[in-house]
Amino acid sequence: MDKTENKKKMSVVQKMIIALVGGLVVGLIFMFIRSSMLDSGNEGTWDIINKILFQDITAADGTAALGLFYIIGQLFMRGLQAAIVPLVLCSLSLAMCSISSSSKLGRIAGRTVLGFVCFYIVGAFFGGLVAYAMKTAGLFNVKLPSEAVTDAATIDQFNPLATIVTAVPSNIIESMSSNNSILAVVVVAIVIGLCMNVLGEKTDPLKHVLEAGSEVINFYLTFLINKVGPVAIFCLVSRTFAIYGAEYLAPAAAYIVGAMITLFILVVTIYPIGIWLTTRLNPFKFIKKIAKVGVFGFSTNSSAATLPLNTKTNLEELGCSSEITSFVLPTGMTINMNGTTVMHMFAVTFIATSAGIDVTPANLVVVAFLSICAAMGCPAIPIAGTTLIVTILSGMGWTSDLCMIAYALVVAINRPVEMALLPLNVIGDAATNVIVNAKEKEINLDVYNS
């Protein structure tokens, strides 16, 4: 029976990898088909292909489109997103309810935050080191495009400390009505779980409801990820690359390639090394089992959408306990975005250098601090990491017209880098979870080493 289950799980991993590679190949083929058609004046032919396969049917110009790849990708993403709030609420409430010692809860929380902060600092250091080396080598000296400054996509500045206030919702029902308030849902779940813990048997009916809800959610997500996931990943990745023209990638190839290679190297080095240094567990077992979570994060470009698969992998393959996992992973989803910080080190260095500013190591230390603060209080908006760049630029005082034009260029080309940073975020959550479980002596070594 175990062999059959292992084969089944392995086949899902293989399907995801095949879907990712196939999506990249098909997407790049369509990217160059698009470029060649537009260059040769065949805009009408490309327009037909785009409407049949890739068009966003909800956009103003998509009323007459079919958008097959768009529809499949969106149905899958929406299906995942529909489970995020109930998953966090049920799992985290039950976790808090089951932790009998307040001192244990304090240790888990402290170790979790410390793990995230340490990985933030290491990522920022190496990201800044490589970015500064590339800048010194002259690889970031690019000719800025002629787009108007108003084309730069920005968000309103915000004080990261405001996250503390918004984490406590004024309306519990409203906070659960949107995936944009996950941190508030985390706080509500913790409060409910702790209250259930104190009240004991009086809350058994509520506990049974939450347990049943957790079972339903896990069954639903297992089906969605195993059966629909590979097809959806193929469509999502294909569409992402197909709708970009090659002309947007050429001006900043150094930034894209440098950032993506650095993110990949970090994800396969700092977490295994961190696990080995702190727990002496076999780091290769961790990387082998968590790889599919990284592939899934790269494909979906969403930490929230990756949470269900990450949770399942941590519990069933890494031997982590349910109560600690239910606390660490949702918390990491909301505050651990060290991949975003690595990207910020590259993007800010690239933007400032393009605008004629001489970036110094001291500047990068300040950029790293601002990035960590901003990332931990990151607002839940599309391409959040990219839009937060303007907050860091404002903090540095680098807001000239040239800086904003360079920022607009980064927004146009940053999609591949945004995809590459997601594995660093979600695998970082898992690595911290393994470390906390090992320190609490609640990791199942037989499962981890299997």
Residue 244 lies in a domain: no
Residue 190 in domain: no
| Residue 404 maps to a domain | yes
Neighbours of 363 (CB within 10 A): 18
Instruction: Name the H helices within 243-302.
Output: 246-249, 253-267, 270-279, 283-300
Q: How confident is residue 113, by pLDDT bands cut at 50, 70 and 90?
A: confident
Q: How confident is the model at residue 345 (pLDDT cuts 50, 70, 90)?
A: very high
Average pLDDT for residues 152-180, to the nearest whole number?
A: 66
Q: Which of 106-110, 132-136, 379-383 has the highest mean pLDDT?
A: 132-136
Burial 398-410 (b: 16+ CB within 10 A, else e): beeebbbbbbbbb
Question: What's the mean per-residue pLDDT of the chain?
Answer: 79
Give the pLDDT score at 412. Answer: 62
CA atoms of 194 and 99, how far apart (whole Å): 9
Please state the φ and ψ torsions of residue 389, each to the nearest 5 degrees. Answer: -60, -40
pLDDT at 132: 92
The overall pTM is greater than 0.75? no
| 282 backbone dihedrals φ, ψ, rounded to 5° | -65, 110
Dihedral, 355, 357, 363, 367 alpha carbons, nearest 10: -10
Q: Higher model confidence: residue 243 or residue 46?
A: 46
- Using alpha carbons only, what angle is made at residue 116 by residues 214 and 124, rounded to the nearest 5 degrees? 140
- In the prediction, which pLDDT does 273 show? 93
Res. 156 pLDDT band, cuts 50 70 90: very low
**Predicted confidence (pLDDT) at residue 441 exceeds the cutoff of 70:** yes
Please check the confidence at residue 250 and state whether its pLDDT lies above 70.
no
The fraction of the chain above a pLDDT of 70, given in percent, is 85
Residue 356 belongs to a domain? yes
What's the chain's length in residues? Answer: 450
Helix %, strand %, coil % of the chain (to 5)? 80, 0, 20
Evaluate if residue 1 carries a pLDDT over 50.
no
Give the CA count within 13 Å in the CB-facing half-sphere of 336.
30
Query: Would the pLDDT of 103 be above 60?
Result: yes
* DSSP code of residue 177: T
More confident residue, 316 or 6: 316
Average pLDDT on 141-157 reads 47
Q: Give the percent of the chain with pLDDT over 90.
A: 11
8 Å CB contact between 23 and 233: yes
Q: What range defines the domain where residue 306 resides?
A: 101-184+249-448
For residues 135 and 154, what is the distance between their CA atoms, to the nearest angstrom? 24
- Cβ proximity of 422 and 377 under 8 Å: no
Split into its structural domains, the chain has a count of 1
pLDDT digits (tens, 9 = 90+) for 260-287: 888 899 989 999 999 999 988 899 999 9
In degrees, rounded to 5, the angle at the alpha carbon of residue 333 between the alpha carbons of residues 331 and 339 is: 125
**Would you say residue 18 lies in a domain?**
no
Q: What is the pLDDT of residues 205-238, one digit of tens each?
A: 998 998 898 788 878 877 887 788 788 878 877 8
Instruction: Cite the DSSP H helix spans in 99-146.
Output: 102-136
R_g over Cα of the chain: 22
Tell me the residue type at 153.
A
DSSP 8-state class, residue 380: S
Better-predicted residue by pLDDT, 131 or 84: 131
Q: Which of 85-94, 179-188, 219-228, 338-347 has the lowest mean pLDDT?
A: 179-188
Beta-carbon contacts of residue 230 (< 8 Å; ≥ 6 apart): 12, 15, 16, 18, 19
CATH of the domain at 145: 1.10.3860.10
Q: Which of 391, 429, 419 is nearest to 158 (CA)?
A: 391
Q: Nearest-CA neighbor of 306 among 286, 287, 329, 324?
A: 329
Q: What is the pLDDT of residue 322?
A: 85
Q: Is residue 147 part of a domain?
A: yes
The residues near 43 (Cβ < 8 Å, ≥ 6 apart) are 37
